[in-house]
């Protein structure tokens, strides 16, 4: 089992909300230890928030102490990096 979460990578104001939702997700017993894929949507915008910076806002290093976790910039409109992201999740589950 694995989990995926999508957030708007173009809206810094939503990062606090995304962080709170992520913490709720991490408390789910049924997802304990499951790999976690985070998609930072809207990388097609002129100035998207880089996945690297977002990983620090969401404290990804701490999450990686308990489970496999990866964050990908992506675009739901163009499909950019979605295949790579899903491939990563499938590889982690297998």
For the cut 60, the answer to whether the pLDDT of residue 2 exceeds it is: no
According to the model, what pLDDT value does residue 1 have?
Answer: 47
CATH of the domain at 35: 3.40.50.300
d(CA 94, CA 84) in angstroms, rounded, equals 15
51-92: pLDDT as tens digits = 667 788 888 899 999 999 998 888 888 887 899 999 999 999
Cβ atoms of 63 and 26 closer than 8 Å: yes
Q: What is the mean pLDDT of residues 13-19?
A: 75
Q: Which helix (H) or strand (E) holds 26?
A: helix 15-26
Domain count, the chain: 1
Q: Which helix (H) or strand (E) holds 53?
A: helix 51-57
Confidence of residue 20 (pLDDT cuts 50, 70, 90): confident
Q: Which domain holds residue 9?
A: 3-93
In the three-class reduction of DSSP (H, G, I as helix; E, B as strand; rest coil), residue 17 is classed as helix
Per the annotation, binding residues are 41-44
Per the annotation, binding residues for GTP are 41-44
């Amino acid at each position: 089992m694995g989990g995926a979460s999508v957030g708007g990578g173009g809206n810094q104001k939503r990062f606090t909300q995304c962080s709170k939702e992520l913490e709720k997700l991490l408390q789910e017993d049924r997802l304990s230890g499951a790999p976690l894929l985070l998609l930072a949507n809207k990388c097609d915008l002129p100035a998207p928030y880089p996945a690297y910076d977002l990983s620090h806002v969401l404290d990804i290093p701490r999450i990686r102490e308990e489970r496999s976790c990866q964050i990908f910039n992506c675009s739901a409109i163009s499909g950019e990096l979605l295949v790579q992201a899903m491939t990563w999740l499938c590889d982690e589950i297998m």
